[in-house]
Structure 1
């Protein structure tokens, strides 16, 4: 991805499309019980934007990220579709907050050469990979996959939050798909994400969701618009009251005298450092300028009377 020049102007991976899963023969199990998963496609597009923040620090350059149209296929067909070679298969547990059922297992699938490329860059290299690929990952490479998987899991949880709260967590990397806790006949929703940097050839990351794990959310996943009900007025009022009690530190800098080093070295107890207080001193809330005021007293305490307030576009909410 980093060192290989592009061989085509088309970023998208060619994929042979099988007939629609709902067009099976009489008596066959319906592979896709959902139909068009509009909302899941939307969530994938949202996740693709956040993947830039996952891979740009690892690749040390800007990347483009996009989500390709999702498909539903049996796991055996997905395995047959993938090219031969070293591949990182990382199971991700899916635990729904509102369910007591056993957590399901999603899959994060990474190309082995891409994993070795990220590992070389992580240790200060240029992303070079061996011409002859090894047959298994080193412990460092496996740790890199788990690290990437953990970051992706956090982004997955954020992307799914508008729909439902699901905890994703990486487990152990496998190089043999036969060792995965997924049956070859299981139906999987395959979401594919492209990653490309500059003119380099894109690489692809696949996330696979088991169809049974998505059935409780089927009605929402097929909707073209994610329904968001209006917030409960009582909850909104309580939230507003709570926010209004949040405390912020307010401070003011009365003077910032500048003295030569020699004077600092000669200072002793009893010496006086002269200061000049300006007519208007800045008033700061947190790290943002609130405005200016004049120094005085109020009820026997030192105080500042505000003479002007900063506008929002001057940096108070920046």
Structure 2
């Protein structure tokens, strides 16, 4: 007599919970960005032999490969990188003008960009891109703990996203922009894009538990939170000066500053939003572009 196959165990979804979503990864990626702002400058300083630049991190924004390809204009380098032994994909994007400007400075120039832009990156720019990739990979590896399971390596590079094909066109991504400001040089930027599979493996996110009957909690529009005063700081200028320059400052001295395109809004030192500077009724204002 044949034995009946025992029924499979069925587990309660409320106990198992669910994995992280793209929205769950915004805050962990922003924290990784803050770490990159501290670990990346030393690596970038070695590229041009100058002082360590100031790195500003934008707010992570959701995107897809198809949207990035549609927004892509002109010559751009896309570098596919791999995380850990499984080489989980992440993408670094560099526009041509900042790379060529940095290349000119590396050869003793003033950071000029050839006009018109070339149709392809010259070999010298390819070598510089490889060095930038190594600096980013090292900073990411250090920011993720420095162990082999979170080591980031550069895999391949292309100027066409469709040829590189790092992810599926509609796969949800989180994209974060890094703005680099160097003394006596125009600021430049690069972008990192990570799919959910890479984000979940790289960043620790508390497991979400489903509740059968969640209790209503007071929101920011209700007491006791609504009347609490919160100090919000908009950082228009954040500059670095050597101590020798500070000690020689006198009334009437002029310090040239650069206002970043993305102005961070902070509460207690943490960035909660970013916007652009403008004017409303003869008063300086900040228009929010991104927020948690």
Q: Which residue of 1 aligns with 2:89?
A: 105
> Relative contact order: is structure 1 or structure 2 higher (C-alpha 8 Å, sep ≥ 6)?
2
- Contact kept, 8 Å, 1:37 with 1:221, in 2: the verdict is no
Tell me which residue corresponds to 2:194: 209
SS in 2 for 1:140: helix
Alignment equivalent of 2:71, drawn from 52, 66, 81: 81
**Of the candidates 174, 178, 187, which is equivalent to residue 172 of structure 2?**
187
Q: 1:161 to 1:218 in 2, by over 3 A?
A: closer
Q: Aligned in 2, Cα 1:216/1:167: closer, same or farther, shift over 3 Å?
A: closer
Gaps of 5+ in 1: 1-30, 97-101, 224-318
Indicate yes or no: 2:82 matched with 1:93: yes
Equivalent position to 1:220, from 202, 205, 224: 205
The question of 1:50 aligning with 2:35 is answered no
**CA distance, structure 2, for counterparts of residue 106 and residue 65 of structure 1:** 20
Q: SS of the counterpart of 2:84? A: strand
User: 1:140 aligned to 94, 101, 124, which one?
Assistant: 124
- Whole-angstrom CA distance in 2 between matches of 1:184 and 1:87: 18
Contact 2:103–2:125 under 8 Å retained in 1? yes
1:32–1:78 CA distance, 2 compared to 1 (3 A): farther
The number of equivalent residue pairs is 188
TM-score normalised by length of structure 2: 0.57
Partner deviation per Cα, 1:34-76 (whole Å, 9 max, x = no partner) = 4353222111111112221122232424522111110121111
From 79, 85, 105, the equivalent of 1:121 is 105
1:278-289 matches, within 5 Å, as: none
Give the alignment of 1:141-180 within 5 angstroms: 141-161=125-145, 165-180=149-164
Distance 1:123 1:176, change over 3 A: same
Offset at residue 221 of structure 1 (A)? 6.9
* Structure-1-length-normalised TM-score: 0.53
Question: Structure 1 residues 63, 45: closer, same or farther in 2, change over 3 A?
Answer: same
Shift of 1:169: 0.8
Shift of 1:171: 2.3
> Given that residues 47 and 132 in structure 2 are in contact (C-alpha distance below 8 angstroms), is that contact kept between their aligned partners in structure 1?
no
* Aligned equivalent of 1:240: none
Q: Deviations over 1:80-119 (max 9, x none)?
A: 234x1111111111125xxxxx422211111111111222
Q: Judge conservation of contact 1:38–1:222 (CA < 8 Å) in 2.
A: no
- Asked whether the equivalents of residues 93 and 169 of structure 1 are also in contact (C-alpha less than 8 Å), the reply is yes
RMSD: 2.8
Q: Which runs of 5+ in 2 are unaligned?
A: 1-19, 209-292
| In structure 2, C-alpha distance between the alignment counterparts of 1:48 and 1:111, rounded to whole Å | 20
Aligned to 1:305: none
